[in-house]
Structure 1
Amino acid sequence: MISAVLVQPASAETLQEALLKAYQSNPTLTGARSGQRAVDENVPIEKAGGRPRLNATGNYTESILKPTISFTSPQRAATANAQLSVPLYAGGAVKNGVRGAKTRVEAGRASLRGTEASVFSQVVAAYMDVIRDSAIVSLNRANVGVLEVNLQATNDRFEVGDLTRTDIAQSQSRLALARSDLQTAEANLIRSRENYIALVGSPPDNLETPPPLPGLPANPDLAVQVAVVDNPDILAAKKQREAAFYDVKVARAAAKPTVSAFTQAGYTNYLNTLPIGQSDSQINKSAAAGVELNIPLYQGGRPAAQVRQSQAFESQAIEREIEIERGVIAQVRAAYASWQASLQTIVSSQAAVDATALSLEGVRAENSVGSRTILDILNAEQEALISRVELVSAQRNAYVAGFSLLASMGHAEADDLGLAAGVLYDPVQNYDRVKNKLLDWGGDPAPVPVATRTVDTPAQNAKVAPETK
């Protein structure tokens, strides 16, 4: 299990709260959900190709100049026509188009899961960056304070002739470098906090130590086995390959016969402008029904080209699936190795922290009896600082690598992280809402922003709350 070392105030913000904020308002996630709703609409669009079509036309005609050889043409006429067409057979284009659209909906859902895991990984990294950089700022500030005390003590001992100007210069040099390191650490903390705001939508507020990560694998082989089954990028690539298979069938349908049934009706009213005796009625009505068979004989080679093109896209999707699987496997193994290396680094860094603390205490004691120089103390203090910074960095790296490992395995999404019930976005609800819609009129309400803006958040600083022991 992994956990950070810093103990934060009781009112601190938790990692789960940060993830929940990002889940609700991160624009990458909210935009991906909108994109998935657009993909959902491809299903009713494809279904529309197999549904009846009803058209109506009407016109009014006024003869400005009658033909000179025609004495029976009407002066004006109003006509109306209606036609109902019902597709009976389309060579499989509609059926396979719908299947392909449904498969792409499933691919989109998997991609949405991948986006969710990616955003969560970024949030976890940003969260741990703030914790790490806050600790580094605290360590550097404490180091500056110690070096200021050392410089004052060195000056005092110089005044009584116990030390030389060289000792003072060495202390001044180390203090100047420490202040420079502190400024760099403060800048890094501000950058980490601003990055946190960009991802989460609000400033970090005394971030709490994150809980241990659950479900980490015992070995890389087990991690790969889980990832091959559950990784959302692999699942999305697999569904895209299946959809490309249906695209080939749709392309083949272009060379097949189509059958449709139709009925049509017409109405013409000559508005009493037919010459008397030419017609018993000023109104003409007509109606017809039938079946239309369309057999394509030659289309310039277009259908065959479209089939070959679709097959090439299917081949590309097959190779893409393998490419993504390769990348995921490499990512899983690399994340596992990084996680293990960071865990080992934590152990080594903790040992180094203990050793440098003991060494610093001993050097100071030896300096008091004259067997160690001021430079020895400065070096020991520098080594102690470096070991503490490395420990904090290793703890950050271990947690981020562990979470990245879970994400690449497909186990770092909202359901896996136990975010508050009742707030989770369900893409199936929108699909069920639109998949069978029939009307040509209507739509959804005008889009409004879902993600929160951060322009009103205050510019971040490098203030760090005091640690509680």
Structure 2
Amino acid sequence: MKTNIIILFLLGLGINAGAQQDYLSREAYRDKVASYSQVLKQQRLNTLASTEARKIAMTGFLPKIDITAEGTANLNHLDMWNSPAGQYRPYTYQALATLGQPLYTGGALNAQKNMAKADESLARLSEELTMDQIHYQSDAVYWNASAAHAMLQAAKQYEDIVNQQYNIINDRFSDGAISRTDLLMISTRKKEAELQYIKARQNYTLALQQLNILMGVKPDVPVDSLSDIGTLCEPVQQLSFDEVLNRRADYASTEVNIAKSEAQRRAALSKYNPQVNMFLATGWDTGVAYMGQTVVHTPIAGLNVNIPIFRWGARFKTNRQQKAYIGIQKLQQSYISDGILEEFSAANTKLTETEQQVKTAKENMALADENLDLATFSYNEGKASMVDVLSAQLSWTQAHTNLINALLAEKMAVAEYRKVISE
């Protein structure tokens, strides 16, 4: 007997473990959607490309080595190809290896480096913003599927309630205890309940298809278990607006864009500053006309200096132009800040209001349950009319629908708040 108890206990553990594996939590669904998201993968590749672009910009500070070779032949004098030394030969050639090093580029290299760093930061922030949007989308789809399942259960329960009453009335009609009017009224309500269940089943099927597709699974793959729509919401962080701004990727992007615009201004002005470059070259060169002399190896060192003097005021106009672009970015930052404030205020309001909606909907559901029980009992006892029963049934299904919608609105309010605070 003791052995049997142990076996049953182990079997129970196995069943529970299997049920836990089949259960799909909101957090697990978030991870599945994020790992499959093609948009997020694109953003990550964009970040990788931006990182490589920054590394490329850094190479501008390093020496460069080039090897060049060139040869020409005068086709009109090919007969002089092997003429004696000191006489014209119809070909030339050169081969050079050059080491170049920029000494001062007017700030262009530093500006390009800073712009590349800004682009990399923007790519990372865009990836973070995409992740926030994916989390919100996955929460919305998840809770919509949970609500659709609750609607399906409510439709089934409503259909059972109507069928139960229909069976009672049909038996009474067969016994001649009631008129056909009551039977027709409950029959009509029975068909309405069947139609409501069919619609609920369709909505639930569509919600599951969307749930599966978003995480990269075939639409018809069954989902065994989701969190109930009535599950208590996890507490959210209560943050101030300044704290939210510091967490938002889109606001951080405005800071980076301002810095990038400043780097672009320096890059635009760099061409009006002095440029200094040095080079070392070595190789062989016959010259423009080759006279058959011995071509010697010639090392060369050079320094190139360019100082812009007069450009018709282009430098000052360029500076004003770039400062205008910086001003645009600062105004964009203010615009983004206002948008975040609007989202944050709306999210806080929805948190408070949806909590009250759920409370009221639960109270209304309790009243509808009591009203349906009372109306059904009274009708069965001959103390109420069929109209009272149908009205109570309608109130019950409406109350149940309102409760599920309120619970869904509460879940979506929490999801929206988490998106706003970038959680």
Answer yes or no: same fold by TM over 0.5.
Answer: yes
Match in the other structure for 1:370: 382
Q: Does 1:343 align with 2:355?
A: yes
**CA distance, structure 2, for counterparts of residue 304 and residue 165 of structure 1:** 95
Contact 1:108 1:236 in 2 (8 A): no
Once the two structures are TM-superposed, the CA of residue 274 in structure 1 deviates from its matched residue by 5.3
Match in the other structure for 2:117: 102
Where do residues 324-343 of structure 1 align in structure 2 (5 Å cutoff)?
A: 324-343=336-355
Instruction: Decide which of 238, 243, 252 is 1:226's aligned counterpart.
Output: 243
Where do residues 145-294 of structure 1 align in structure 2 (5 Å cutoff)?
A: 145-202=160-217, 204-209=223-228, 212-217=233-238, 222-268=239-285, 279=293, 281=294, 283-294=295-306
Match in the other structure for 2:393: 381
Match in the other structure for 1:66: 77
Instruction: Decide which of 104, 111, 121 is 2:136's aligned counterpart.
Output: 121
Once the two structures are TM-superposed, the CA of residue 345 in structure 1 deviates from its matched residue by 1.1
Contact 1:39 1:105 in 2 (8 A): yes
Q: Deviations over 1:186-232 (max 9, x none)?
A: 22222222222232223544113467424332xxxx44232122122
Which runs of 5 or more residues in structure 1 are unaligned?
Answer: 1-8, 413-469
Q: Deviations over 1:431-457 (max 9, x none)?
A: xxxxxxxxxxxxxxxxxxxxxxxxxxx
Q: Which amino acid aligns with 2:383?
A: S
List, as ranges, runs of 4+ consecutive aligned residues in structure 1 with deviation greater than 6 Å.
67-71
Once the two structures are TM-superposed, the CA of residue 26 in structure 1 deviates from its matched residue by 1.3
Q: Deviations over 1:158-212 (max 9, x none)?
A: 2333332322222222222222222222222222222222322235441134674
Cα 1:330–1:84 shift into 2, 3 Å: same
Contact 1:22 1:201 in 2 (8 A): yes
Larger Rg belongs to: 2
Q: Deviations over 1:300-322 (max 9, x none)?
A: 77655554443333222111111
How many matched pairs? 392
Match in the other structure for 1:53: 64
TM-score normalised per structure 2:
0.85
**CA distance, structure 2, for counterparts of residue 408 and residue 241 of structure 1:** 23
Instruction: Decide which of 22, 25, 48 is 1:14's aligned counterpart.
Output: 25
For the residue of structure 2 that corresponds to 1:118, the secondary structure is helix
Contact 2:136 2:419 in 1 (8 A): yes
Match in the other structure for 1:458: none
Q: Deviations over 1:359-397 (max 9, x none)?
A: 111111111222211221122122112222222222222
Which runs of 5 or more residues in structure 2 are unaligned?
Answer: 1-18
Q: Does 1:27 align with 2:27?
A: no
For the residue of structure 2 that corresponds to 1:264, the secondary structure is strand
Alignment RMSD (CA, Å): 2.6
Q: Which amino acid aligns with 1:101?
A: A
For the residue of structure 2 that corresponds to 1:372, the secondary structure is coil
Match in the other structure for 2:4: none
**CA distance, structure 1, for counterparts of residue 50 and residue 138 of structure 2:** 27
Contact 2:43 2:123 in 1 (8 A): no
Range moving further from structure 2, 345-354 or 17-26? 17-26
**CA distance, structure 1, for counterparts of residue 48 and residue 321 of structure 2:** 28
Instruction: Decide which of 338, 356, 373 is 2:368's aligned counterpart.
Output: 356
TM-score normalised per structure 1:
0.77
